[in-house]
Structure 1
Amino acid sequence: MDSQGVHDYLLTKPLSSVAQPFGPGVDVYKVKDKMFATLALGKMGKEDEDNRHWRVNLKCDPDEAQALRDIFTAVIPGYHMNKKLWNTVILDGSIPAGEIQRMIDNSYTLVVSNMPKKEREQILSLL
């Protein structure tokens, strides 16, 4: 799944929106003003410009976050995020699209589940 596919899928979530509050280059996806993902082109370590990959930060259950890191080398602790609750998924083509969509769904659902009951029920009724 490439960055455009991730962007498009993130915006299919009910009441989702995208903005760049951290400046150009980092898209922040929210549901009712609560962040559930970020998407940015990044590099880490000594990568050169040719080895840059898009990265998506997704909220995650702490146990699942660690399990995903153990399974996929392209899943690392959340960059600039709470590393217990967020993962960074490097979009290098090594993770199947369906798995990335599942991670996005889980991130969205985790954020919605922490909203007040009225908002949560409204959003869940749209799923």
Structure 2
Amino acid sequence: MKNDTIKAYCLSKKGAMEDYPFGPAPLVVKIGGKMFALITLSEKQEATDISLKCDPVIAENLREQHEEVVPGYHLNKKHWNSISLQGSLSHEDIISMIDHSYELVLNSLTKKQQELILTL
């Protein structure tokens, strides 16, 4: 997966919104006001790494399987992974991790919020 498409893919998710709560960087992608992706961008606006929410058991497994996946940088290390996009992870692996993070956050919202987002 080209790193410059990471941002576009995250923002293509239903209800996803771009935010910069920490200043001009990093890019935070939210759904229903809750963060599901935190993307570090290079000067060329290409994603260099991404932090994603993850089920704690799956998070541990991913860290054991891939050296590019580490506990979330400046995040709750039990629930977040930081992933280097400069490594050998496949397109499918990255997409799967983004989708998992999005689904976790979507499912944490109220039923009413979920319905509003899914009908966009």
Both proteins in one fold, TM over 0.5: yes
Assess if the C-alpha contact under 8 Å between 1:27 and 1:40 holds in 2.
yes
| Distance (Å, rounded) in 2 between the aligned partners of 1:98 and 1:58 | 15
Partner of residue 82 from structure 1, selected from 76, 84, 100: 76
Question: How well do the aligned residues superpose, as a CA RMSD in angstroms?
Answer: 1.7
Partner of residue 64 from structure 2, selected from 57, 66, 70: 70
Residue 41 (structure 1) shift: 4.3
Residue 122 (structure 1) shift: 3.4
Larger Rg: 1
| Distance (Å, rounded) in 1 between the aligned partners of 2:12 and 2:114 | 17
| Distance (Å, rounded) in 1 between the aligned partners of 2:119 and 2:20 | 28
Residue 123 (structure 1) shift: 3.0
* Identity rate, percent: 43
Partner of residue 100 from structure 2, selected from 95, 106, 109: 106
1:25 corresponds in structure 2 to 25
2:6 corresponds in structure 1 to 6
| Distance (Å, rounded) in 2 between the aligned partners of 1:36 and 1:98 | 18
The 3-state SS of whatever aligns with 1:79 is coil
| Distance (Å, rounded) in 2 between the aligned partners of 1:86 and 1:40 | 15
Assess if the C-alpha contact under 8 Å between 1:2 and 1:93 holds in 2.
no
| Consecutive unaligned residues in structure 1, runs of 5 or more | 43-52
| Consecutive unaligned residues in structure 2, runs of 5 or more | none
- Relative to the length of structure 2, the TM-score reads 0.89
| Distance (Å, rounded) in 1 between the aligned partners of 2:118 and 2:35 | 17
Displacement over 2 Å in runs of 4+: 121-126
1:35 corresponds in structure 2 to 35
Which digits, 9 at most, give the CA deviation of each residue in 1:56-102, with x for residues without a partner?
A: 00000000000000111000000000000000010014100111000
| Distance (Å, rounded) in 2 between the aligned partners of 1:58 and 1:112 | 13
